[in-house]
Amino acid sequence: MTDFSILNTIIIPAMVLPVAFLLVVLMAPKFIPMLHRMKFGQEVREDGPEAHLKKQGTPTMGGIMFLIAITAAVLLKNVFEADMQSLMVLFLVLGFGLIGALDDYLKIKKHQSEGLNPKQKLILQLIITVAFAFWTYHGGALGARILIPFGALFGGVELKLPLWVYIPFVVFVVLGTDNGVNFTDGLDGLCSSVTVVVAVFFAVAGLLLSFGVTVVSLAVAGALMGFLLFNVYPARIFMGDTGSLALGGFVSGAAVVMGMELFIPVVGFIYMIEVISVIIQVSYFKLTHGKRVFRMAPIHHHFEIIMGEKGDKVTEPRIVAAFTCVTALLSFVAFIVLVFFTS
């Protein structure tokens, strides 16, 4: 192996995680006070848990910090060797991050918990997602094929989709995942902690399937580790939709580029149940004219309220730990399935 090859395949990727981590850690002490001065504070839902009212005014849009760190780390790798697949994922991360930043800015400006209306947000997400889908289909990524877990048992391990099926399929996967990650951002450190585990899984999966996804996954993991130093309970800063939508772009983008869309319900189980809990709650509320299945949706608030009623005064860290452990366990299961697939 030549010195240049060692630089590109070992040294630079190994630097990506600590570089992203350090960038966030160094930015935060300046960035958080700046957000305070600009009065970029969180607008708390009026119908949310009562305990969350004290979070009103906590600086938001912290996702900008890890977006800068992720971008810098990925571009560092591309300076030494162009990597189209990492750039594909970064495109979705930044595209959704910009949508989230606009949403956050409007919330702050209007002093309410809704920025972009659902139709505006959906149109912007569709534009970014369709562009990403065409790029991955024609750009040489692995995303035009779908890996079938345990497919070898049924005579095939992957499925190649025609363009007219692939585009709507990717739109469904990306938007569904992005909403799930967005709903998960409701407790201090929850979305960050869960997504660190998912990013580590994709980093390992990338070693088997797509080296470029390993690079961007390590960047995400490092940046979120740095962010968690300031985002764990009690949080000094929130990521806002700037961060949660961007992370949804990462999770779905990494999966699509590697053709691992069918692994998302496993490694992203927490994201999935967050979305499902909201769908169930809203649907049942409408059908029964006011009755509810959960005390509050998304489901992390349901557990938060129940635990609070039982006298637990520190509910958020316990829920975050439980959801993160579930994600770690399921990611291990998904890794075993992936190893079986590639063996």
Say how far residue 200 (Cα) sits from the centre of its chain: 12
Q: Find out whether the peptide bond into 298 is cis, omega within 30 degrees of 0.
A: yes
Per-residue pLDDT of the chain (343 residues; tens, 9 = 90+): 444 454 555 667 778 899 999 999 999 999 999 988 887 766 655 555 555 555 666 888 999 999 999 999 888 878 777 788 899 999 999 999 999 999 998 888 877 667 788 899 999 999 999 999 999 998 766 657 888 776 544 444 678 888 889 999 999 999 999 999 999 998 999 999 999 999 999 999 998 887 789 999 999 999 999 999 999 988 899 999 999 999 999 999 999 999 999 999 999 999 999 999 999 999 999 999 888 999 888 999 888 889 888 877 778 899 999 999 999 999 999 998 888 765 5
- Residue 137 · residue 167 · CB < 8 Å: yes
Per-residue pLDDT tens for 13-63? 778 899 999 999 999 999 999 988 887 766 655 555 555 555 666 888 999
Predicted TM-score (pTM) of this structure: 0.91
Interatomic CA distance for residues 249 and 92, integer angstroms? 5
Q: Find out whether the peptide bond into 234 is cis, omega within 30 degrees of 0.
A: yes
Interatomic CA distance for residues 4 and 230, integer angstroms? 37
Per-residue pLDDT tens for 158-202? 788 888 899 999 999 999 999 999 999 989 999 999 999 999 999
Give the helix ranges, DSSP H, for 232-298: 240-258, 264-267, 269-287
Residue 143 sits at φ, ψ, to 5 deg, of -65, -20
Interatomic CA distance for residues 9 and 286, integer angstroms? 54
Per-residue tokens: 100 = 């989230």
Q: Rounded to 5, what percent of the chain is helix, strand, coil?
A: 75, 0, 20
Give DSSP secondary structure letters for 68-79: HHHHHHHHHHHH
Domain ranges in the chain are 3-342
